[in-house]
């Protein structure tokens, strides 16, 4: 279950992160473009030290399916912009009302609520603009783009991420079932992670069998990621998480450990990551980054 001894995940992540950061810099409107304040706000949140997990998953899936980073970069960046928009809107006073994110003041604390809302809207809009730029790149067939657009907008919409967020905010402070918790986690976080993996493979022409394997992988690490996030919130500290540890608990946010306990939560995450890695047995060396990323999702401390 551990990554191959010969594979250096840290070096892989550092190289991909650098490539993603350069692409984001290129694809985002310059901060001086009219009107500057909204472009500054977009960049403030995008360049706030994110892990770039979602774009790296797009890239790693494309590589596992025989493609290359350059074939999928605009769409990889789309996932980071959509993720960032969701954080800005989640942090708003009307939602989670968070003052800090990754150790820095949240968007609305710096730019005001109106600009924060609009910066989120703009990141979603511009993210999907980037999907159009993926037309004609590398191995991307023209008839793939409508499928990719449909997949991303479903994962980011009410059947996915927004649906999870709606149920999450409506459940705060109420007793909820483990089914509801599972719904929130698989939708709010899981849907976009699963879509990142699937879209990366789709863009480089993965066949249906391979796509099924990627779907299982994405499904499992999507849920594992959120369970680990909950565990870290209980165990973590401000230093590593950039937010106050236990903050979800204090807000009576529903978490996996609060419903299932810590040991069962950790066991479930480990099992999910095992299943994710097992789905990729057919991929040999090309699947090594994805397998190592699954282990990273489980063992991360931030």
| Footprint on this chain of its own copies (rule: CB under 8 A) | 29, 33-35, 37-39, 42, 85, 89, 92, 94-95, 112-115, 117-118, 120-122, 124-126, 128-129, 131-136, 142-143, 145-147, 149-150, 153-154, 156-159, 162-163, 165-167, 169-170, 183
Q: Least distance (Å) from its own copies to the CB of residue 99?
A: 16
Residues 6+ apart with CB under 8 A from 128: 78, 82, 149, 152, 153
**CA atoms of 192 and 154, how far apart (whole Å):** 9
Q: Could you give the count of Cα atoms lying within 13 Å of 93 in the half-sphere of its Cβ?
A: 6
Shortest distance, position 95 Cβ to its own copies, whole Å? 5
**Residues 127/81, Cβ–Cβ less than 8 Å:** yes
Give min distance, CB of 171 to its own copies, in A. 10
Of 69 and 145, nearer to its own copies (C-beta) is 145
Count how many residues are written for the chain.
302
Least distance in angstroms from the C-beta of 29 to its own copies: 6
Nearer to its own copies, 35 or 175 (CB): 35
Reduced to 3 states (helix: H, G, I; strand: E, B; else coil), residue 202 is: helix
- Name which of 69 and 131 has its Cβ closer to its own copies: 131
Angle among Cα 59, 64, 70 to the nearest 5 degrees reads 35
CB atoms within 10 A of CB 4: 11
Q: Let me know: does 96 contact 90? Beta carbons within 8 Å.
A: yes
- Name the maximum alpha-carbon separation found in the chain: 52
Smallest distance from its own copies to CB 126, Å: 5
Nearer to its own copies, 45 or 265 (CB): 45
Query: Which residue number, 125 or 299, has a Cβ lying nearer to its own copies?
Result: 125
């Amino acid at each position: 279950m551990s990554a191959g001894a010969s594979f250096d995940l840290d070096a892989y992540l550092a190289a991909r992160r650098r490539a993603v950061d350069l692409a984001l810099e290129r694809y985002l409107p310059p901060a001086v473009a009219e009107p500057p304040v909204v472009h500054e706000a977009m960049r403030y949140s995008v360049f706030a030290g994110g892990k770039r997990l979602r774009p790296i998953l797009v890239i790693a899936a494309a590589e596992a399916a025989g493609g290359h980073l350059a074939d999928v970069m605009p769409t990889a960046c789309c996932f980071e912009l959509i993720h960032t928009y969701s954080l800005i809107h989640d942090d708003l006073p009307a939602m989670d009302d968070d003052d800090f994110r990754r150790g820095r003041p949240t968007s609305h604390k710096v730019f005001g609520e109106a600009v924060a809302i609009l910066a989120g809207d703009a990141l979603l809009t511009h993210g999907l603009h980037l999907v159009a730029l993926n037309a004609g790149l590398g191995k991307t067939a023209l008839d793939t783009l409508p499928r990719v657009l449909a997949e991303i907008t479903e994962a980011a919409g009410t059947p996915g991420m927004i649906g999870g967020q709606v149920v999450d905010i409506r459940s705060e402070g109420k007793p909820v079932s483990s089914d509801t918790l599972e719904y929130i986690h698989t939708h709010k976080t899981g849907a976009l992670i699963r879509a990142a993996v699937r879209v990366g493979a789709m863009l480089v022409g993965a066949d249906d069998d391979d796509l099924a394997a990627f779907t299982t992988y994405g499904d499992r690490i999507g849920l594992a990621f959120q369970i680990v996030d909950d565990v870290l919130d209980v165990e973590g500290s401000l230093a590593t998480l950039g937010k106050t540890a236990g903050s979800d608990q204090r807000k009576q946010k529903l978490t996996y450990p609060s419903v299932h306990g810590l040991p069962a939560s950790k066991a479930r995450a480990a099992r999910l990551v095992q299943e994710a890695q097992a789905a990729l047995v057919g991929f040999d060396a090309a699947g090594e980054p994805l397998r190592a990323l699954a282990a990273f999702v489980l063992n991360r401390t931030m």
